[in-house]
Amino acid sequence: MTLQKRIYRMLRNARWKVVGRLLRSECKTVLDIGCQEMFYYDRMKKKYDVTLADYEPLHPNIKEEDVQNLSFKDKSFDIVLCQEVLEHVPNPVQAMKELKRVAKKQLIISVPFEPYFTLFRGLSWEKEHFWAVTPAILKFHLGKPKFERTMVFRRYYVAVWEF
């Protein structure tokens, strides 16, 4: 395994340690958006009924969905989990509206925490990122979160909205 993959796995595990504790235990259903690797699924499937969705699914258990135009009904899931996705879509504001629309009780979003994320990449912009979705942008469109925090050496920002 390459050093880059080891670092990526370490960062992903560190994010899970924070995000996993934020999931409301009384909830039953979870929508995990942008879950190509099914990393969170393996940790949630024993406790929750998890629906996996991604724009480019790499596994047959993942539904093909565009976060900017989800096919699910309003308030379809107790928890909606969206980790490191919004910076990759052409219209993150529309994506935020869709995430909020399908969430019944809890919405958990994490994004790279700019400018620190870029500094960690040696001051080069991540080519797959269309936008820097900042905490201020999330709060402007979704309101004040119940919980927010930077994590993993201030590399990521995570926030939770409760409904």
The Cα 111–Cα 128 span in angstroms is 13
Contact call for residues 97 and 70 (beta carbons, < 8 A):
no
Q: What residue spans define the domains of the chain? A: 3-162
Amino acid at 101: R
Q: What are the C-alpha distances in Å from 133 to residues 10, 41, 60, 90, 150?
A: 23, 24, 30, 12, 14
The Cα 60–Cα 15 span in angstroms is 25
Pairing of the two strands 62-64 and 147-151: unpaired
Q: In sequence order, which ranges of 23-123 are alpha helices (DSSP H)?
A: 39-44, 92-102, 116-120
β-bridge partners, 149 = 158
pLDDT value at position 39?
A: 85
β-bridge partners, 63 = 53
pLDDT value at position 125?
A: 47
pLDDT value at position 37?
A: 79
pLDDT value at position 47?
A: 96
Q: For the chain (length 163 residues), average pLDDT per consecutive 10?
A: 78 86 96 89 94 94 96 98 93 97 97 64 55 90 96 84 96
CATH of 3-162, one of 3.40.50.150, 3.40.50.300, 3.90.1150.10, 3.90.650.10: 3.40.50.150
pTM higher than the cut 0.85: yes
Pairing of the two strands 156-162 and 29-33: unpaired
